[in-house]
Amino acid sequence: MLTQLGMKRKAAKRMRVAYPCRVCKQDCLQGQDSVQCDGCESWMHTHCIQMTKNQLDTFTVNQHFNFFCLQCSMDATGSFNCRASLARIASHVPPAPPVDATSHDPDVDANHLPDIQAIREQAESERNLLSFYNVVLPPIDWYTTDHIDVDQTSVEMLRKHCSWLLARFTPVTTTGDGNCMYRAISYALFGTQSHHVHLRLLCCIELLANRSFYDSTCSQFYEPYKADPELVLQDYETYVVETVKDGADADMLTILCISSVVHKPIQTHWPITVRPGKSSPFTKLVTGRDVSTLQPIHILWTVSHFDPRRKEVVINHFVPLIDGPVNPASPIISPVEEHDTAPEVVVVQDEDNNDEKPCADGEPLPLKFLTTKECVEFVSGNTACPVRDEVPAGRYFCFVLVTFCITVDIVVACIFFFDFLDFMK
């Protein structure tokens, strides 16, 4: 893009034509801080568009940064055009090689290699533009939607394979257009799918700006993924090329990326048990960079279609799981209730709209957790059971607050780790 410095280079051209500011209609003169739109090529005085000196300097120093005027940055609804921004990043991805290419010509192959640096520079430019126009995600607005479009396909599948999830969550329909992961997160956070393009754009920017966290060949790659030999992921460059395309499928790297972007952990649920007692590599509590809260967003892998050839359903679709059972009359699963001597048990649900860690009254056991069986033993009077130091990542869990009345005056409250997988055994 061209700023006032660039104008000097265009001095010859300036001699022949005028450069009226598209805002105030006065000429942008030599020596006046001005900037040219890379879309409509109009010039504008920086003071006419409230561009600060620092912002102008950023554009000037980074020659690969584009500037688009307000008119060229917005879509028909008057919102920042995230789709166009994404398309500018994707424009640096070379076309795929012809499908009928039978030989591997190194020269042809080289033409189709992605130029990750060019893609990253465009992503930096888009980030700068978002910042200039102060385009941010809306504030989190959980579950204010009056009408919930329950995803019946997921309900049927969960009834068959993972009914405990239905006791706690409602799966909500998302459009299956390749953007379903972004749609699911958008719905879970804002009660609408409509921010899915914005989320994808932010993911692309995040992914390109912090390669070492997302590239499995780097030593700083996300540890829990690195530690799971069963989790097969795309290589970084292939993943970048896919992610920058609107409508391209998501995977566990996307979950990691979105978690970083929205600063929240994401708990994914793969609904079908492959080996009893063992979690799927697609069931994980994923915590991205700079995640500041503990309350996860719950996402379900669900049925995308039926494969008639293999006569089985294909699970390649995502829907959000929002708090509350599908049927409000469904009881919350609680193993302790089966015991006559059980004290009062309150399941602490993720319903704190303040987005803060669940907090128990009384004296909690900080960082100490028990499995369900251990909980039952504990509350049945056998207090000699071992206490775990941390919650195993990727398990189905919630916290259970148990209060004991030791005497009339002494009430003790503890938080236990409630492990559904252990319970279901």
The residues binding Zn ion (CB under 5 A) are 21, 23-24, 37, 39-40, 45, 48, 69, 72
- Cα distance between residue 412 and residue 393, in whole Å: 28
Q: Closer to Zn ion at the Cβ: 44 or 189? A: 44
Nearer CB in complex with Zn ion: 36/268: 36
Cβ nearer to Zn ion, comparing 28 with 262: 28
State the burial class of residue 224 (Cβ atoms within 10 Å of its Cβ: 0-12, 13-18, 19+).
middle
- Residue nearer to Zn ion on the CB measure, 45 or 183: 45
Is there a contact between 189 and 142 (Cβ–Cβ < 8 Å)? yes
- Residue closer to Zn ion, measured from CB, 32 or 403: 32
Task: Decide whether 48 or 413 has the Cβ nearer to Zn ion.
Answer: 48
Q: How are the residues of the chain apportioned to helix, strand and coil, as percentages rounded to the nearest 5?
A: 35, 15, 50
Nearest approach in angstroms of CB 127 to Zn ion is: 19
Least separation in angstroms between residue 90's CB and Zn ion is 20
Of 74 and 393, nearer to Zn ion (C-beta) is 74
Contact 240, 208 (CB under 8 A): yes
Q: Decide whether 38 or 355 has the Cβ nearer to Zn ion.
A: 38
Q: H helices within 215-315, ranges in order?
A: 223-226, 236-243, 252-262
The answer to whether the beta carbons of residues 374 and 424 sit under 8 Å apart is: no
Q: What is the 3-state secondary structure (H, E, C) of 308-366?
A: CCCCEEEEEEEEEEEECCCCCCCCCCCHHHHCCCCCCEEEECCCCCCCCCCCCCCCCCC
| 164 within 8 A of 424, measured Cβ to Cβ | yes
Q: How far is the CB of 129 from Zn ion (least distance, A)?
A: 12
In angstroms, the CA 240 to CA 118 distance is: 12
Residue 75 C-beta: closest distance to Zn ion, Å? 14
- Minimum CB separation of residue 58 from Zn ion in Å reads 18
Of 133, 120, 121, 136, nearest to 55 by C-alpha is 133
For residue 38, the minimal CB distance to Zn ion (Å) is: 8
CA-nearest of 7, 74, 12 to 41 is: 7
| Closest distance to Zn ion from the beta carbon of 39 (Å) | 4
Bridge partners of 374, per DSSP, are none
Within its chain, how far is the Cα of 216 from the centroid? 19
Nearest approach in angstroms of CB 76 to Zn ion is 15
